Structure 1
Amino acid sequence: MEHGPGAYDVPGRHESFWMETTAETPHPSLAGNLETDVAVVGGGIVGITTAVLLKQAGYAVTVLEANRVCHGVTGHTTAKVTSLHRLIYAELIDRFGSRQAQQYAEANQAAIETIASFIRKYDIPCDFLRKPAYTYAESEEARGLVAAEADAARSLGLPATFTEDVPLPARNYGAVVVGNQAQFHPLKYLLHLASLVPGDGSRIYEKTRALEVQDDGGRCTVRTENGTVTARAVVLATHYPFYDSPGFYFARMEPSRSYVLGVRLDEPFPAGMFINAAGPVHSWRSQPSGAGELVLVGGMEHRTGEDVDTRRHYRDLEAYARSVYPITSVDYRWSAQDYITVDGVPYIGPLAAGHENVYIATGFRKWGMTNGTAAATIVTDMILGRASPWAEVYAPDRFKPAASARRFLVHNIEVAEKYIGGAISRPAGDLADVLPGEGRILMIEGQKAGVFRDREGRVHAVNPTCTHLGCVAAWNSAEETWDCPCHGSRYDADGKVIHGPAVKDLKPRGG
């Protein structure tokens, strides 16, 4: 446990296991202007996989990453490589029909094999293990949902069954299980793939934030902090599109945060990956490590920016984990951010009509390892002029009222409330009331100020108005960041962008 001023009583070391156990990447920053065949903005699983596939097809590819490759969302995943996405197939059949539901199932199953084939082909040491995936019922009410999911998944061709035998000791009432799924160390895998990109006209540039995309219908230009990249096509693999010319995506996705603990047990973890079917998310998987088996426990999701004390989610997650297993230590903690579309299916394909040379992949609903790999395959096919068998279900220009109208309405009412001044209750008071380790929104001289006092007592003050579309950011006590509740932009204590869609830092207080 960490202890100190400001009630820093949260478990574990605040660091992603994946990032701690891999080396820092060596790629330079862009300096000047260049031309390429395809510009890929974002160096996570979508961007790196797309770059490798396009390079294999003979294209010159330039990857632009605002930070370090694989250190964004991909560096904070739980890294389950599975087509069993909690409960989704009965819902997809109901909302989209069996044909498109089957496209989703096949795309994610194929993604598992794409990852496996890369690992075999390039002999990537990344702890890849085949394991069954379980979605288990924690109540009698959820049992029926799980049984229906098993039937739905099996009807789509997945090797799914309902089982009463769930080896996780958590309370359960049966589960849907899909065999021959997988888990791995995502950064060991992707950093090896990234090493294959440079050369033969292809490049990776880190610490190079893209600011703007211009698409004239023939050539595209990506303007960055350090120069411009001109390309025949652009792939926006930034997890959330910082460029949304039609204004389509900002209104049809919501940001969600969830939490992970890396714990040690005094007994072996069962063979499998597990997630509950309903209620607050409880996710489990194990991971080999130098100090023995590490077990990753995840969940406690909530909308980004909508919680005053996010530290309690780590504490609640620890309490839940200890209710299931005797835990000898909590070694790591980290959080992840994802986006959920209004109908629950990612957007993958051309950005919009009139922007056919700009491609998007976003809204993975916390299942980015397979959906992200499928996205790379779909986008690559489109750039190469090949038909993708899965493109229809993911098409960004879809809008199915039956599937998404209610959630679309609720989401946009919530966003509108925050534009008007913030629906979230925030603490007020005087600067002297802000304790070490605490962040607040204050009114200072008639203006809003986001104030954080660090452990040494230094005050960090910013204008908390998000530079993306003007919502008011909220303090995230667990991560010590300013998080926008509207579209998920995140900033450090001094206002520097750490997660888009914002591309500009918060202004200093008074700026």
Structure 2
Amino acid sequence: MTRKALWEQEVKLPSFPALNQPVFADTVIVGGGITGIVTAYLLTKAKKKVVLIEGSQLVNGTTGHTTAKMTAQHQLIYYELLQNVGKEQAKLYYEANQEAIAWVKQTIEEEAIVCDWLDETAYVYTNAEKEVEAVKQEAQSYEALGIDGSIAMTLPWKTPFKQAVQMNGQGQFHPLKFLLPLIQFIKEHGGEIYEHTVAKDIEKGERPTVITTEGVKVVGNEVVIASHFPFYDSGFYFTKMHAERSYIIAIKPQKAVPGGMYITAEKPIRSVRSALYHGEEVLLIGGEGHKTGKGQPTEARYQALIDFAEKEFGVKELLFTWSTQDLMTLDNLPYIGKVNNAEHIYTATGFKKWGMTSSVVSSLLISDLILNKQNRYQELFSPQRFKAASSLGEFVKQNSDVAAQFVKGKLDYFLQNNEELPANTGVVINWNGTRAGAFKEEDGTVHLVDTTCTHLGCECEWNDAEKTWDCPCHGSRFSVSGEVIEGPAIEPLKKLKE
């Protein structure tokens, strides 16, 4: 089955040319997902000249592969926030996300956007005895913070559960249907958009300049890095974040579709929401998350979701399967704002698995900073923060794991020659003393690449579900022939054989 998200089936976004000559703007935005597009829309409305560049195609990354829940219920987070950042900051986190939801609803009304918006209640539920107390603590945290929610005594979805907590006033939508009118607004009001234009570096100065891989310069008064993983890593984000992959299936269920949005407290996570496909209600079921490059065999992840769907709803038809990648921070809060106080460079990254609300929070915050407006969330999300109590242990653990993966990858060899290669799969072989990744097409064509990630030298592992080479250290992903699919890497894997 083709790995394609449901959202891509009904909406065709416009295409844009690659940038081949220098351009100047008030604000240069790198990244054509929801963060970049909404930021460009807000600044264009404020009469700023905006240039947005995207390395592949608009919304081709995480935005196009989301479950598209607009919710402040980010699994079990508020009890944790109360312990780590205190009541005032935890309440701000909720309010920032609720304001993002309100802004989306307001924009839908103002722009008359038809994007399948539904007001929904969000639920975290558990069938694991060890998570029952955590769910109760989360409900108590809702009460302490004034969150509109409580312990759920029943669920609209008739499934067994030991404990559940609900958050009211949430929503879901079709992300591409929402973004298309914003893209059209940007175009019609003087904004410039370029695809297939990869940012490589930034020349600092009074007017920061983005340099593309083709050497083209994009000059602005400000630069906004909305590229998922920051391509300009002055904040050493590779030491403060790790990448996780998760999987989604879209099905026509045999049973009636329940109202509400659901996620489990325990792992493996199961996420459930409805969606419309050609006017018919279907279900999106997600989960099976794991650290990128460490979840083999990945094909089994889809089967686990299918088995769950069959048990709970019955599968009349499996429509689509796809996966996505999320960046997890040390303290579970995104990094949003100025990369440092001296430069006019802004970043938004580390949204965990809640990119729809976090993206809009980012766009509202960054556009306020650029327009010299006060924003009460600036300190909470500052990329310059480091809360020792909540971050230091995770920092040591994360970077110890990176070091272990670096060493482990250098020692692993498998097949010894091309004759043993199976078709249509990737394997690691010893090629003249070098660890190499080999992929043989059905017609016998062999792609051979050095599996050493071009970011910082960790060894990539094979992802059988997506047919990619994935780096377990920082989440870079490459095609069978070595091209970059997802950063932080910018350069392709070295080809060992054409």
TM-score norm. by structure 2 comes to 0.97
Deviation at 1:401, TM superposition (A): 1.6
Cα distance in 2 for partners of 1:72, 1:279 equals 25
Matches within 5 A, 1:128-143: 128-143=117-132
Q: Quote the sequence identity (%).
A: 38
Distance change in 2, residues 1:322/1:26 (3 Å)? same
Matches within 5 A, 1:45-444: 45-216=34-205, 218-226=206-214, 227-246=216-235, 248-290=236-278, 292-354=280-342, 356-422=343-409, 427-444=414-431
Aligned length: 497
Residue in 1 aligned with 2:17?
28
Distance change in 2, residues 1:108/1:425 (3 Å)? farther
Deviation at 1:420, TM superposition (A): 3.2
Cα distance in 2 for partners of 1:349, 1:141 equals 37
Cα distance in 2 for partners of 1:325, 1:397 equals 46
Cα distance in 1 for partners of 2:483, 2:101 equals 36
SS in 1 for 2:280: coil
Once the two structures are overlaid, the 10-residue window that deviates more, 340-349 or 139-148, is 139-148
SS in 1 for 2:231: coil
Distance change in 2, residues 1:402/1:453 (3 Å)? same
User: What letter corresponds to residue 107 of structure 1 in structure 2?
Assistant: A
Paired residues of 1:463 and 1:510 also in contact (CA < 8 A): no
Cα distance in 2 for partners of 1:398, 1:424 equals 37
Paired residues of 1:450 and 1:509 also in contact (CA < 8 A): no
Residue in 2 aligned with 1:3?
none
Deviation at 1:234, TM superposition (A): 0.4
Cα distance in 2 for partners of 1:157, 1:389 equals 18
Unaligned runs of 5+ in 2: none
**Counterpart among 44, 52, 55 of residue 33 in structure 2:** 44
Paired residues of 1:211 and 1:225 also in contact (CA < 8 A): yes
Cα distance in 2 for partners of 1:48, 1:254 equals 24
> Once the two structures are superposed, what CA deviation does each residue of 1:126-184 show, in whole Å capped at 9, x if it has no partner?
10111110011222332221121112123222201111201223331131111221100
Paired residues of 2:31 and 2:55 also in contact (CA < 8 A): yes
Cα distance in 2 for partners of 1:153, 1:435 equals 53
User: What letter corresponds to residue 300 of structure 1 in structure 2?
Assistant: E
Cα distance in 2 for partners of 1:467, 1:371 equals 29
User: What letter corresponds to residue 220 of structure 2 in structure 1?
Assistant: A
SS in 1 for 2:274: strand
Paired residues of 1:223 and 1:229 also in contact (CA < 8 A): yes
Deviation at 1:36, TM superposition (A): 0.4
Paired residues of 1:169 and 1:324 also in contact (CA < 8 A): no
Cα distance in 2 for partners of 1:151, 1:423 equals 48
Cα distance in 2 for partners of 1:426, 1:180 equals 52
Paired residues of 1:165 and 1:174 also in contact (CA < 8 A): no
Residue 446 (1) aligns with residue 441 (2)? no
Paired residues of 1:305 and 1:475 also in contact (CA < 8 A): yes
Deviation at 1:200, TM superposition (A): 4.2
Unaligned runs of 5+ in 1: 1-11
SS in 1 for 2:302: helix
SS in 1 for 2:238: coil
Paired residues of 2:416 and 2:431 also in contact (CA < 8 A): no
Cα distance in 1 for partners of 2:113, 2:331 equals 36
User: What letter corresponds to residue 407 of structure 1 in structure 2?
Assistant: E
Paired residues of 2:257 and 2:282 also in contact (CA < 8 A): no
SS in 2 for 1:336: strand
Deviation at 1:26, TM superposition (A): 2.3
Deviation at 1:425, TM superposition (A): 5.9
SS in 1 for 2:359: helix
Residue in 2 aligned with 1:6?
none
User: What letter corresponds to residue 405 of structure 1 in structure 2?
Assistant: L
Distance change in 2, residues 1:26/1:409 (3 Å)? same
User: What letter corresponds to residue 224 of structure 1 in structure 2?
Assistant: T
> Once the two structures are superposed, what CA deviation does each residue of 1:243-281 show, in whole Å capped at 9, x if it has no partner?
1124x2110000000000001111221110000112211
> Once the two structures are superposed, what CA deviation does each residue of 1:432-476 show, in whole Å capped at 9, x if it has no partner?
222112111111111121111123332111111111111111111
Cα distance in 2 for partners of 1:277, 1:403 equals 20
Residue 490 (1) aligns with residue 477 (2)? yes
SS in 1 for 2:286: strand
Cα distance in 1 for partners of 2:296, 2:90 equals 38
> Once the two structures are superposed, what CA deviation does each residue of 1:317-350 show, in whole Å capped at 9, x if it has no partner?
1112222121112111000000000111100011
Paired residues of 1:101 and 1:393 also in contact (CA < 8 A): no
TM-score norm. by structure 1 comes to 0.94
Cα distance in 2 for partners of 1:425, 1:282 equals 33
> Once the two structures are superposed, what CA deviation does each residue of 1:63-115 show, in whole Å capped at 9, x if it has no partner?
00011111111000000001001100000010110111111100000000111
Distance change in 2, residues 1:176/1:403 (3 Å)? same
User: What letter corresponds to residue 127 of structure 2 in structure 1?
Assistant: E
SS in 2 for 1:250: helix
Paired residues of 2:100 and 2:357 also in contact (CA < 8 A): yes
SS in 2 for 1:109: helix
**Counterpart among 434, 453, 473 of residue 466 in structure 1:** 453
SS in 1 for 2:495: coil
Paired residues of 1:286 and 1:294 also in contact (CA < 8 A): yes
User: What letter corresponds to residue 206 of structure 1 in structure 2?
Assistant: E
Deviation at 1:225, TM superposition (A): 3.4
Cα distance in 1 for partners of 2:252, 2:276 equals 11
Paired residues of 2:336 and 2:381 also in contact (CA < 8 A): yes
Deviation at 1:403, TM superposition (A): 0.7
Cα distance in 1 for partners of 2:350, 2:411 equals 24
Cα distance in 1 for partners of 2:295, 2:163 equals 33
User: Alignment RMSD, CA only?
Assistant: 1.6
